[in-house]
Structure 1
Amino acid sequence: MPETEAGSGSPSSAPEPVADDVWEKFVQDTERDIRASAPKEPSARARMVTERLRQQEARGELPPGWRTGPAWQEMDGRAARRRRRWAIVGVPLAVAVAVVAIRPSLIPGEPFGTSSTTASSPEGPAASPLPAETAAPTAPPSMAAPETPTLTRPFAGSPAERWADGEAGITPPKATPVGSLSKGQVEQALQQTRKLLVDANLDPATLRGERPETALGVIEPRQKELLDLLTTALRKPDKDHDPLWMFSRFDPDEVRLAGDVVKTRGRMTFKAGEHASVVVHADYTFVYPLVREGSTEVARTIIRRVVDVELSDPAKYQVTPGKIAVLRYDQEIGNSACDVYDGYLHPQFDSAPPTGAPPTGPTTDPYDRSKDLDVDRAQECGTVSRT
């Protein structure tokens, strides 16, 4: 019989000796199984390594899933689907606004443009920006004085007027080593998460309904079920395959950005995972000012997204180096038509009749970031208290 490896246990905890005939049958059975499954006879060293790994696994010296990968891989994306929740969607409170018809060519800026600068406003001084969010706030933002958003001040009357512009609001924390992962590997996980968020929620091509190649490209290819679901959702959206679960998209034939800025606020944190990994938690709210062609009326859609991703040590798990596995994706959407599954967000304008199904859920504040998104919350389509 083989000897026990040094340091694997004390005499008091050593297993009972195995009879020679039992051990011989075990070896024979093992070698027969290897011959049946392998394309050719393994070497004596291969059998020795196989047996050593088998013994280490029996003693609990190997991490769970060492053969195939972390639990997300074995579930093939089912965890992410189980955690998905419908958005709380609604319409804004009625506010009287004056609508002036003008030629589309007079609307400033490009539809879903790429610039991250904010135009100076002739209507008033720019609000002082808020410091970056480093922890969950203790209460929702205070109510601002009622103001009608305009093309020059699309965030007027909104707490988002003091938020960061676009990508500037997604700043990963400083990376540090986590478990067996180096500082560089943790930094890679943070930057890949940032790429996912930016391409899914801020990229002009994504916003006008194009395929978010960068976002899809950072996801672990072994999450085939998740990637297949998202691909189907982008190609042929329906109630069970909705791209809005992860991507922000507007119908370019219906609306365009009012200006060239999307406001962003949130935070990103990381911790050690269970599979020789780092888990990144991202919680961000995006505010989109929108206008219809031929109109100066501005409506805002607000989306809060929570995403948890994991990057495992490729030296210990069968994973694709540098790719992130999505553990959870959740969202809460304010001011978009209820129960419409065409793959686009449909903001409600005060001057237009309501679209979609009537809201049945509670009234919520889409700017309230003081509470976590409860994965077990009600899924009814509700209303928002402000936009």
Structure 2
Amino acid sequence: MSDRRSEQSSGDEPSSSSISDEVWQQFLSDSERDIRKSAPKEPSARAREVTQRLKKQKGEPEGWRTGPAWQEMNGRAARRRKAWAVIGVPLAIAVAVVAMRPSLIPGDPFGSSAGSSSGASSGTDSATSPLPDETAAPTAPPSAVAADTPTLAHPFAGSPALRWADGAAGIVLPKATALGAIPKDRVELALQQTKKLLVDANLNPDVVAGARPEAALSVLDPKQPHVLDDLDSSLRSPSKTRDPLFLFSRFDPKDVKLAGKVIKTRGRITFAKGKFEGVAVHADYTFVYPVVRADGSTEVTRTIVRRVIDVELPDATRYQVTPGRLTLLRYDEDAGNSACDIDDGYLHPQFPSQAPTGSAAPTGPSIDPYDRSHQLGKGPQGCGTVSRT
């Protein structure tokens, strides 16, 4: 499993209104954490004075600068990777199937499932009935499911995702409401633009097969320095530091293809008033991709990708931004069952019949890629194993 994190940032020249010392101090403390954010600011002569004074007090790097629309917090995004690659011993083999009643737990935070090779749903069988929408952060990983081998006919057999929603149906937007002076329609626009980003980046079959994510890129603000340029560069020439997998799910069509048309989805979206007078949207979703090799083999495996993104739709009357476009503040990613240390811009799932052994086998710890209860970036580092796919 690989964990990729990126926070974007920028810089220009001041416009009109003043900004308090408290806000600037918050900017500084934010930059000292490993989640470094980029966002518009309201600069002024006083803002520049405060910046210089804080630079002298705190010894900030030369990259700090003011501008009319953006504050660059600490240069370009620093990205770090954590790899979780090959299939570990399935927990389901060692753990008895637990039949749970999701109705007793609000939102069914455990994502419980008993598994089924048929993949059929039954209104009276909690083992195969669809889960309720996720409305709160889970407090534990999904319970163990019956061990079963995925097939072309039933690609989610033996997976907790069997009961998850199919594709975009799993991205359920909360009801838009006004946020103080921010009208309801602007909140709705921010939510719809975020969903468009998520769907194209993770569920569009052409993008998953390696095509350019045009719709996802179209919702991002071209005035946010570096962001679109860096994403374009990552798509043209992937590298360890500029990897399209930071934001987009992609497989090399010469190697693998989707097993069927369904990608399973589970997660949630929330919104609030942003620090910068806009609509801030937080999204946390896991996508499960069943795949087969492109050589005609019928062996099915699954890659599990979890993404957390933070975006904001700023007030275009106060900031130099493109109306209706999203400011990308943060994006984290974990990929379960994708080979370690390959930086070609594609996910590389490993199949049970091809799992490396001996010196080629990963030696890191095991992790459950279906576990949505932990924060990304908080787990162990290194190339390890996934406990189940």
TM-score range, shorter chain: 0.7 to 0.9
Any conservation in 1 of the 2:131–2:164 contact (CA below 8 Å)? yes
> Per-residue deviation at 1:358?
4.4
The answer to whether structure 1 residue 57 and structure 2 residue 59 are counterparts is no
1:83-105 deviation line (CA, Å, top 9, x unaligned):
x442442111258xxxxxxxxxx
> Per-residue deviation at 1:296?
1.3
Paired AA for residue 180 in structure 2 = G
Any conservation in 2 of the 1:268–1:280 contact (CA below 8 Å)? yes
Paired AA for residue 328 in structure 2 = V
Which residue does 1:365 correspond to in 2? Answer: 368
Alignment of 1:103-142 (within 5 A): 123=118, 125-126=120-121, 127-142=128-143
Flag structure 2 segments of 5+ consecutive residues without an equivalent: 1-13, 25-39, 45-65, 91-115, 122-127
Any conservation in 1 of the 2:281–2:311 contact (CA below 8 Å)? yes
CA distance in 1 between counterparts of 2:20 and 2:340 reads: 54
CA distance in 2 between counterparts of 1:353 and 1:304 reads: 22
Any conservation in 1 of the 2:177–2:184 contact (CA below 8 Å)? yes
Which residue does 2:336 correspond to in 1? Answer: 334
Paired AA for residue 310 in structure 2 = D
SS at match of 2:196: helix
CA distance in 2 between counterparts of 1:59 and 1:208 reads: 48
Which residue does 1:303 correspond to in 2? Answer: 305
Alignment of 1:1-387 (within 5 A): 57=18, 65-67=41-43, 73-75=70-72, 78=75, 81-82=77-78, 84-93=79-88, 123=118, 125-126=120-121, 127-292=128-293, 293-354=295-356, 358-374=361-377, 377-387=379-389
CA radius of gyration, larger in: 1
CA distance in 2 between counterparts of 1:207 and 1:257 reads: 8
CA distance in 2 between counterparts of 1:332 and 1:361 reads: 15
Q: Summarize the Cα distance change of 1:343–1:77 in structure 2 as closer, same or farther, 3 Å threshold.
A: farther
CA distance in 2 between counterparts of 1:70 and 1:236 reads: 30
Paired AA for residue 342 in structure 2 = V
CA distance in 2 between counterparts of 1:153 and 1:72 reads: 50
CA distance in 1 between counterparts of 2:20 and 2:239 reads: 48
Any conservation in 2 of the 1:337–1:357 contact (CA below 8 Å)? no
CA distance in 2 between counterparts of 1:77 and 1:248 reads: 27
Any conservation in 2 of the 1:154–1:298 contact (CA below 8 Å)? yes
CA distance in 2 between counterparts of 1:363 and 1:272 reads: 38
Which residue does 2:52 correspond to in 1? Answer: none
Which residue does 2:98 correspond to in 1? Answer: none
What is the CA RMSD across the aligned residues, in angstroms? 2.9
SS at match of 2:200: helix
> Per-residue deviation at 1:224?
2.9
Give the count of matched residue pairs. 306
Paired AA for residue 41 in structure 2 = G
Which residue does 1:26 correspond to in 2? Answer: none
> Per-residue deviation at 1:273?
1.1
Q: Summarize the Cα distance change of 1:58–1:136 in structure 2 as closer, same or farther, 3 Å threshold.
A: closer
TM-score (norm 1): 0.73
Paired AA for residue 203 in structure 2 = L
1:29-82 deviation line (CA, Å, top 9, x unaligned):
xxxxxxxxxxxxxxxxxxxxx9xx97x63899x999324999983228957x24
Flag structure 1 segments of 5+ consecutive residues without an equivalent: 1-49, 96-120
CA distance in 1 between counterparts of 2:338 and 2:376 reads: 18
1:164-216 deviation line (CA, Å, top 9, x unaligned):
00000001111111233211001111111001100000101111111101111
SS at match of 1:57: coil
Any conservation in 1 of the 2:89–2:388 contact (CA below 8 Å)? no
Paired AA for residue 380 in structure 1 = G
Select between 364-373 and 191-200 the one with higher mean Cα deviation: 364-373
